[in-house]
């Protein structure tokens, strides 16, 4: 960043703190799941094996290490790069508006109250995600893409709903011979999560059965 040295240090420190928090949380969660699964396995077969560290945390049993590090690097790098780019955009804005740039070590950003801030936020998240996803394995990237697609469709639907797009497009179908109608917009509004789950599950099963490669 084209900043004075003390501001560069503050920005890098804020990004580093976000990286460490994300890495520790993600790595710790994955490690806890792996150890908990091992404890349950020992309790089912030989409970006294819990008193042996080699039996509980031996090289042959701690098989989650690489996955935990990958997950930690993914979450940590996303948080760190996102924070760094957000600070960079805030610096550009302060320079353009000729106001003092005061970076904060807090992880939470102020509320987004204008279009430019939202675009900066989306850009920071997209670039950070593109960098951090490189730490995941190929299989994990594919799984993440499937989940992200469902969430993206849901976000697009709700965004269009806030603008009143679906209500003006989706029809109300009358049932002949009765006074009842079928409101497509109302059905989607109430059961969107279930419909997204059905479509996502159908896509995953199709890929698993028809295109396992």
3 state DSSP class of 92? helix
Structure tokens at 59: 């090289």
Pairwise CA distance, residues 8 & 103, whole Å: 9
Structure tokens at 207: 């890929």
Structure tokens at 67: 């996955």
**pLDDT (tens digit, 0 to 9) for every residue of the chain, 213 residues total?**
555 565 667 778 888 888 999 999 998 888 888 878 777 777 777 777 666 667 666 666 666 778 888 888 999 999 999 988 888 888 787 777 777 766 665 655 655 567 777 788 888 888 998 899 888 888 788 778 777 777 777 777 777 777 777 677 777 777 777 777 777 767 777 776 677 777 777 777 777 677 666
Residues 6+ apart with CB under 8 A from 179: none
Say which residue the tokens 């896509």 belong to. 203
Instruction: Kindly report the number of other CB atoms within 10 A of residue 159's CB atom.
Output: 10
Q: pTM for this structure?
A: 0.68
Alpha-helical runs (H) found in 62-137: 65-97, 115-132
């Amino acid at each position: 960043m084209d900043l004075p040295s003390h501001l560069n240090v503050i920005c890098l420190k804020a990004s580093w703190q976000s990286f460490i928090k994300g890495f520790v949380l993600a790595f710790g969660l994955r490690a806890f799941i792996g150890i908990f699964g091992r404890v349950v396995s020992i309790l089912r077969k030989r409970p006294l094996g819990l008193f042996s560290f080699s039996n509980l945390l031996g090289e042959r049993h701690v098989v989650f290490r690489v996955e935990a590090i990958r997950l930690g690097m993914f979450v940590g790098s996303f948080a760190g790069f996102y924070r760094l780019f957000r600070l960079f955009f805030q610096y550009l804005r302060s320079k353009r508006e000729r106001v003092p740039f005061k970076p904060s070590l807090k992880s939470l950003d102020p509320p987004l109250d204008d279009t430019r801030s939202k675009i900066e936020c989306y850009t920071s998240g997209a670039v950070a995600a593109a960098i951090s996803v490189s730490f995941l394995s190929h299989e994990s990237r594919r799984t993440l893409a499937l989940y992200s697609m469902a969430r993206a469709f849901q976000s697009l639907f709700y965004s269009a709903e806030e603008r009143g797009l679906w209500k003006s497009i989706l029809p109300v179908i009358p049932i002949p011979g009765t006074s009842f109608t079928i409101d497509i917009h109302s059905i989607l509004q109430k059961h969107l999560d279930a419909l997204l789950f059905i479509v996502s599950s159908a896509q995953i099963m199709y890929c698993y059965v028809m295109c396992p490669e």
